[in-house]
């Protein structure tokens, strides 16, 4: 007869969800000496977007965005490294070439995170569906943007409203061996990187034929309970195209910074493909998230030079993502205003993006660890990207709340200088503030992966 697991100590933390935020939170808490029980419903119960049982599965792109400190995501990564993020350390070990971006082999990354979490003696994993908010003193809800119906109902009931939702989108992946390389060239924008992207150039006529087919293609209809509200960075390709005939030329098909070495000219439009795995056998159509029906994707995308015979390893799709009205419900350290000791982390908290989810998991863990140690949590410094992002989502406002990703518009504006100089000053101030906050507030080293 199987004996039931002993209950967590009073200072233990229950983490719901082993995604990016939940895995980061569990590892940080472990490093702080706080016992953890992580409750993960997969593999017994899955979501519409997940395909594996690995922790921290990347369900959309395999890119975590730019590494340049002059970009919001790049600065956020730099801060997380300064803080001692476990998942950022593992991501660098699983990286694949992607120019100035940090992209990973998602299977290697997921396996590494899973092994890191399961190897910690003070983290126990319970494979079960959390059908309600756990009744425990310290809880981190990192259930992701696709919690089960039962858990969603529990959250909505607890908060007293149904909350909001938006749509997230998945780009198609094609078999690299089925692409006509005669129609392609390798290059990165403005010559950065080492030719990490495969580029499929289009003439004006080819672009117009593609656009016409895209606009007339059949899409998967929204279900009755779904309202079409898209976060800008996850907008389906065909929705962007409906804004005007040149919209895609300023978005995913933007040719700026790319010159076809065979002609010496900038193409009218360019479709970029990025490695999806270390071997380079799988390629992601960058920015091609879509609600087109699967046969329509193959028909319309076959008009792109080089993809006429492409084999699709994964079609694009769009799915509903849930998130809280964070300004009403959360403090900047991600603790619930209504229930001290309950924290939300990841996309459900109202941040948008992989790195932002990791950062939210890190902050929630540091805050929960403070509670476990009998201390008050603290907001991360406003001068940092981490602090500015979470202060933004928690700030009271008029009108509807929308999820936010890391960007320099969130940071305090420096007094003077050109745009590049201002960003450099902001980045330096952010990293200095993070380093000082770590020294003054942390009582442990969060990095515990080996």
pLDDT attached to residue 1: 36
Question: Can you state the percent helix, strand and coil of the chain, rounding each to 5?
Answer: 35, 20, 45
pLDDT attached to residue 416: 73
Other C-beta atoms lying within 10 Å of the C-beta of residue 423 = 20
What's the CA gap between 100 and 370, in Å, rounded? Answer: 36
What's the CA gap between 303 and 208, in Å, rounded? Answer: 10
**Continuous segment of H or E residues that includes residue 198:** strand 197-202
- Decide which of 1.10.10.10, 1.25.10.10, 2.40.30.260, 1.10.150.120 is the CATH code for 170-319: 2.40.30.260
pLDDT attached to residue 60: 75
pLDDT attached to residue 382: 95
Domains 13-163+324-441 and 170-319 share a fold: no
Per residue of the chain (450 residues), give pLDDT as tens: 334 567 788 889 999 999 999 999 999 999 999 999 999 987 666 665 556 679 999 987 899 999 999 999 999 999 999 999 999 999 999 999 999 899 999 999 999 999 999 999 999 999 999 999 999 999 999 998 878 889 988 998 898 865 666 666 678 999 999 999 999 999 998 877 778 899 999 999 999 999 999 999 999 876 544 455 566 667 899 999 999 999 999 999 999 999 999 999 999 999 999 988 888 888 999 999 999 999 999 999 999 999 999 999 888 887 777 888 999 999 999 999 999 999 999 999 999 889 999 999 999 999 999 999 999 999 999 999 999 999 999 998 777 787 888 988 888 877 677 777 888 999 999 999 999 999 999 989 999 997
Report helix, strand or coil for 424: helix
Q: Which of 60, 276, 75 is nearest to 170 (CA)?
A: 60
Q: Which two tokens stand for residue 63?
A: 């890119």
pLDDT attached to residue 321: 78
What's the CA gap between 18 and 334, in Å, rounded? Answer: 18
pLDDT attached to residue 2: 39
Distances (CA, A) of 340 to 155, 166, 330, 343: 15, 27, 10, 8
Other C-beta atoms lying within 10 Å of the C-beta of residue 228 = 11
What's the CA gap between 368 and 342, in Å, rounded? Answer: 8
Query: Which pTM was predicted?
Result: 0.79
pLDDT attached to residue 7: 76
Q: Are strands 269-275 and 123-127 parallel, antiparallel or unpaired?
A: unpaired
pLDDT attached to residue 40: 93
Q: φ and ψ at 365, to 5 degrees?
A: -65, -45
pLDDT attached to residue 225: 40
Q: Spelled out in words, what is the top-level CATH class assigned to the domain 13-163+324-441?
A: alpha beta
Q: Where are the domains of the chain?
A: 13-163+324-441, 170-319
Report helix, strand or coil for 38: strand
């Amino acid at each position: 007869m199987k004996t039931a697991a002993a209950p967590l100590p009073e200072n233990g933390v229950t983490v719901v969800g082993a995604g990016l935020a939940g895995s980061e939170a569990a590892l940080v808490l472990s490093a702080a000496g706080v016992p953890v029980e992580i409750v993960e419903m997969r593999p017994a119960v899955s979501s519409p977007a997940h395909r594996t049982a690995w922790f921290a599965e990347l369900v959309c792109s395999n890119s975590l965005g730019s590494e340049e400190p002059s970009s919001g995501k790049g600065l956020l990564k730099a801060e997380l490294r300064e803080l001692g993020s476990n998942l950022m350390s593992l991501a660098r070990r699983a990286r694949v070439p992607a120019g100035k971006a940090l992209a990973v082999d998602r299977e290697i990354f997921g396996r590494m995170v899973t092994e890191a979490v399961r190897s910690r003696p003070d983290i126990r994993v319970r494979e079960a569906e959390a059908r309600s908010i756990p009744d425990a003193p310290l809880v981190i809800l990192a259930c992701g943007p696709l919690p089960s119906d039962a858990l969603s109902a529990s959250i909505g009931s607890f908060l007293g409203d149904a909350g909001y939702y938006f749509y997230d989108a998945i780009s198609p992946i094609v078999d690299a061996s089925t692409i006509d390389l005669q129609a392609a060239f390798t290059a990165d924008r403005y010559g950065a990187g080492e030719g990490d992207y495969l580029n499929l150039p289009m003439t004006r006529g080819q672009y117009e034929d593609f656009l016409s087919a895209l606009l007339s293609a059949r899409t998967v209809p929204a279900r009755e309970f779904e309202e079409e509200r898209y976060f800008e960075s996850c907008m389906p390709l065909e929705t962007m195209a409906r804004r005007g005939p040149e919209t895609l030329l300023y978005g995913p098909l933007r040719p700026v910074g790319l010159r076809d070495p065979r002609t010496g000219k900038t193409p009218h439009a360019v479709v970029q493909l990025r490695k999806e795995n270390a071997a380079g056998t799988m390629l992601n159509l960058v920015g091609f998230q879509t609600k087109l029906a699967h046969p329509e994707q193959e028909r319309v995308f076959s008009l792109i030079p080089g993809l006429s015979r492409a084999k699709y390893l994964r079609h694009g799709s769009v799915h509903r993502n849930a998130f809280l009205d964070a300004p009403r419900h959360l403090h900047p350290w991600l603790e619930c205003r209504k229930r001290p000791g309950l924290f939300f982390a990841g996309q459900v908290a109202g941040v948008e993006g992989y790195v932002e989810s990791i950062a939210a998991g890190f902050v929630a863990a540091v805050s929960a660890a403070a509670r476990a140690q009998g201390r008050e949590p603290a907001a991360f410094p406003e001068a940092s990207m981490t602090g500015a992002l979470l202060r933004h989502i928690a700030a009271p406002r008029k009108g509807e709340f929308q999820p936010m990703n890391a960007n320099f518009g969130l940071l305090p504006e420096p007094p003077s200088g050109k745009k590049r100089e201002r960003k450099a000053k902001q980045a330096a101030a952010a990293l200095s503030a993070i380093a000082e906050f770590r020294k003054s507030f942390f009582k442990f080293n969060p990095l515990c992966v080996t």
